[in-house]
Chain A
Amino acid sequence: MNGEPTTGGAVETYEKDFRSYCIGGALALVLTAIAFALVAFEILPVFERLVAIALLAVVQIVVHFRYFLHISWHSHRDDLQLVLFTSLILFLMVGGTIWILFNLHSRMM
């Protein structure tokens, strides 16, 4: 062993894994840059800008899960189901909190 990729069969998967991190890193950088550019240069009207930032965040999160955490449909345990179920719970908790409290706030004004 001299620090080179080990067995012959592993070389192609090395290429594949390396490419996965490169694609993920490049996409994440581009998405982050777009999100910051939208705000820094005040592109789009305010409401559309907020929607665009939220969408970019969701896409970037999916990119991180796919390329950095290697979550895919082929996972053998319930990794993906766990993420999706957690997302559902988080959506209910965060969405519900914001909905109720902003509703309350507007009634108090």
Chain B
Amino acid sequence: MNTSPLSHPGLNLGSVDEYSHEEAEPVIFGFWIFLMADLVLFALLFATYATMSVQGQADGPSPADIFDLSSAFIGTMLLLASSITFGMASLALKYRADGPHLVLWLVLTFILGAGFIGMELRDFMTMIAQGAVPQLSGFLSSFYLLVATHGIHVTAGLIWMIVLLIQLRVMGRTTTVKLRIMRLALFWHMLDIVWVCIFSFVYLYGVTL
């Protein structure tokens, strides 16, 4: 059983819940295709940003003038921690048929994700207070567009998480709810991958160049 092939991305329910495991394959494959398409959106925003951040500064500030590395680091750690706690929630979904673990890990993930969004909004406010508003230059327009698109995705993930916590309470751990949590897990881990690109190629490159 342990060597059976994985039938879809993310944690497979496998032998623990055979029925849900069989139901999972097509819906999660479909969601995986959506995620790949979503990556295309982010890639084009990255391409725009890469050009604009160098060639589109106009008379505005350069990335190194306005980026705050320590707050980017805190945000990165919050999002990474939330990815790990969601992993623990997935484990609880698979291996603990009842008990509070799943809900507690999801709530912890929510708090970390909300903390990340809080840091990001605080950063935006600080930048705007310094006069680095989106309409000042092509660099700033594409910066806010890219980073806020990621932020809106994370916010959508947080809303999704609240909805699933309510569904867990109302509907219990049915196959439907399990599969929804598994898709949210993929969404959440994928957003962390996009953030790896943002902190590397936006923040770290911006401060170094």
Residue-by-residue, is A27-51 near B (CB-CB < 8 Å gives 1, otherwise 0)?
Answer: 0110010011011100000100110
Neighbour of B32 across the interface among A24, A64, A79, CB < 8 A? A79
CB-based contact A98/B50 at 8 Å: yes
Q: Tell me, yes or no, whether B166 is within 8 Å of chain A by CB.
A: no
CB-based contact B95/A89 at 8 Å: no
**Interface positions of B from 13 to 47, Cβ below 8 Å from A:** 14-16, 25, 29, 32-33, 36, 39-40, 43-44, 46-47
CB-based contact B6/A69 at 8 Å: no
Range, interface on chain B: 35 or more
CB-based contact A93/B33 at 8 Å: no
CB-based contact A50/B208 at 8 Å: yes
Q: For A56, what are the chain B residues with a Cβ–Cβ distance below 8 Å?
A: 200
Q: Tell me, yes or no, whether B109 is within 8 Å of chain A by CB.
A: no
Q: For B131, what are the chain A residues with a Cβ–Cβ distance below 8 Å?
A: none
Q: Quick check: which of B97-105, B121-129, B146-154 contacts chain A, the rest being far away?
A: B97-105
Distance (Å) between the CB of A5 and the closest chain B CB?
A: 4
Distance (Å) between the CB of A85 and the closest chain B CB?
A: 8
Q: Tell me, yes or no, whether B180 is within 8 Å of chain A by CB.
A: no
CA distance A25 to B77 in the complex (A): 11
Distance (Å) between the CB of A44 and the closest chain B CB?
A: 10
CB-based contact B208/A7 at 8 Å: no
Q: Tell me, yes or no, whether B160 is within 8 Å of chain A by CB.
A: no
Closest chain B residue, CB of each to CB of A93: B43
| Interface residue tally for chain A (C-beta within 8 Å) | 59
Distance (Å) between the CB of A74 and the closest chain B CB?
A: 5
CB-based contact B50/A97 at 8 Å: yes
CB-based contact B47/A1 at 8 Å: no
CA distance A35 to B77 in the complex (A): 13
CA distance A45 to B98 in the complex (A): 54
Residue-by-residue, is A74-108 near B (CB-CB < 8 Å gives 1, otherwise 0)?
Answer: 11110100110010011001100110011001000
CA distance A6 to B99 in the complex (A): 12
Closest chain B residue, CB of each to CB of A62: B193
Enumerate chain A interface residues (CB-CB to B < 8 A): 1-7, 9-10, 12-14, 16-18, 21, 24-25, 28-29, 32, 35-36, 38-40, 46, 49-50, 53-54, 56-57, 60-61, 64-65, 68-72, 74-77, 79, 82-83, 86, 89-90, 93-94, 97-98, 101-102, 105
Enumerate chain B interface residues (CB-CB to A < 8 A): 1-2, 5-12, 14-16, 25, 29, 32-33, 36, 39-40, 43-44, 46-48, 50-51, 54-55, 69, 73, 76-77, 80, 83-84, 87-88, 90-91, 94-101, 186, 189-190, 192-193, 196-197, 199-201, 204-205, 207-209
